[in-house]
Amino acid sequence: MKKILSILVTLILAMAVLPATIGVSTGTGIGVEITPEDFDPRAWLCAPRVVLDDDLEPGRATGEGDDMTERTNNYAFEGEQIGVDVLVLDKNKMEGMEVYMTVDGDIEVNCKLKERGPTSIDSCNARIDEEVVDPSSSNWQGNWAEVASLYECLLTVETPATMQGEFWISAVAEDLDGNDVEVDETELWFLNPIIALGISGSVEFEDVRPGTSAYSDTIAVTNDAEDGSGVTMDMFIGGTNFYDNDNVGTKCPDSNVLDLSRFSYHAVSGAYSTRDDARSDVEGYVGIGYANGFNDPNLFYDVYEVIQAGPAIPGGYYGANLLAPGADMSVTFRLNLPVPCNADNFDDGSIDFYGEAV
């Protein structure tokens, strides 16, 4: 019985290990699912950001396409341009990426591709959370050009019919799946502001004795640009000769004309006045040049400013000659009436103020 039992146990053990000896290999698998992140694009504003002049009315220091370094407030006029460079990153793919500028959320202009895989992005300060985006690091080598591009955006200000007032302006990147991102640095601009000059008071010279000097009441010249626009005005003055329309045998002193050179003015703006102006006489008065409309700006610059004094402003501006919105200049006129002078009333002529938005 013991022998038979032993053989039976051996058979059972042999049968237990038998399946492991059939065939040469075995194996099994597990299900694997990989889903790449639907990466929202990232966008960063890069330097330089520029405001460019138009070809309609060149400024003192700039012409068509020049960077308007003198523009220190957020306003722009028809034809002027706001330009930015935008770095866009999408770890999924750049195909189908659209980059555009918006005005109050409405798409206004598409940006053009400037460079794939840009090598110089230091001015963009590109970061994803705490990670600095660096194309030279091992994280980006080999595929940087496929996931990053630099775009150039240029918004041209349209006519007041479509762009007049305050607007938020921004740059946006949108991928093929409709994921979009706006740059952090949105800007509030006043487009096509209404500009105007206001005059408070009047200039009258009554019963002036020939051979004497007469002084007018002081008037105020005000920058009456649209409220909230921030428009700074560069101020100029010019005039014409004066004539007597009553035809009474006018002679002053040699002909029937009162020459503009007989007039001069004293102006005050803040801490400065025409007494600080190198053109002024001992009383602080400056002569008035001939002008009939702001038709040739080149003749005005450095000749017809109201006050040539104050701190130097980039672009060649005189600090004391710039009027902020709502600011005033006080102006008093002097008339040196010649001898002899006979007339009824010199009422045909003018002295005019001109303002140009900086």
Taking residues 271-281, report their average pLDDT. Answer: 98
The pLDDT of residue 126: 93
* More confident call, 337 vs 16: 337
The pLDDT of residue 23: 59
The pLDDT of residue 9: 42
pLDDT digits (tens, 9 = 90+) for 180-231: 999 999 999 999 999 999 999 999 999 999 999 999 999 999 999 999 999 9
Sign of CA dihedral 237, 241, 247, 251: positive
pLDDT digits (tens, 9 = 90+) for 311-337: 998 888 999 999 999 999 999 999 999
Q: If you average pLDDT over every residue of the chain, what do you get?
A: 89
Distance (Å, rounded) from C-alpha 321 to C-alpha 332? Answer: 16
Check pLDDT > 90 for residue 339: yes
Distance (Å, rounded) from C-alpha 355 to C-alpha 358? Answer: 9
Check pLDDT > 60 for residue 13: no
Q: What is the DSSP string of 153-210?
A: EEEEP--TTT--EEEEEEEEEE-TTS-EEE-S--EEEEES----EEEES-----SPPT
Domain layout of the chain by residue ranges: 42-191, 197-357
The pLDDT of residue 253: 94
Selected from 3.30.70.980, 3.40.50.300, 1.10.150.130, 2.60.40.10, the CATH number assigned to the domain covering 42-191 reads 2.60.40.10
Taking residues 163-182, report their average pLDDT. Answer: 96
Check pLDDT > 60 for residue 6: no
The pLDDT of residue 270: 96
pLDDT digits (tens, 9 = 90+) for 129-155: 888 888 887 776 668 888 999 999 999
Check pLDDT > 90 for residue 27: no
* More confident call, 222 vs 16: 222
Strands 346-348 and 242-244: antiparallel
Distance (Å, rounded) from C-alpha 141 to C-alpha 80? Answer: 40
Angle at 186 between CA 182 and CA 191, to 5 degrees: 125
HSE, side-chain direction, 13 A CA sphere, residue 225:
27
Taking residues 3-20, report their average pLDDT. Answer: 44
Phi and psi dihedrals of 293, rounded to 5? 100, 150
Check pLDDT > 90 for residue 14: no
Where residue 262 falls among pLDDT bands split at 50, 70, 90? very high
Check pLDDT > 80 for residue 265: yes
Cβ pair 118, 149 in contact under 8 A: yes
The pLDDT of residue 1: 38
Check pLDDT > 90 for residue 111: yes
Distance (Å, rounded) from C-alpha 303 to C-alpha 236? Answer: 9
The pLDDT of residue 37: 67
pLDDT digits (tens, 9 = 90+) for 31-44: 787 766 667 899 99
Taking residues 85-101, report their average pLDDT. Answer: 93
The pLDDT of residue 142: 67
Distance (Å, rounded) from C-alpha 9 to C-alpha 219? Answer: 127
Looking at residue 14, what DSSP letter applies? H
* More confident call, 315 vs 103: 103
Strands 75-76 and 187-191: parallel
Q: What is the DSSP string of 66-121?
A: -B-TT--SSEE-TT-EEEEEEEEE-SS--TT-EEEEEETTEEEEE-EEEEES-S--
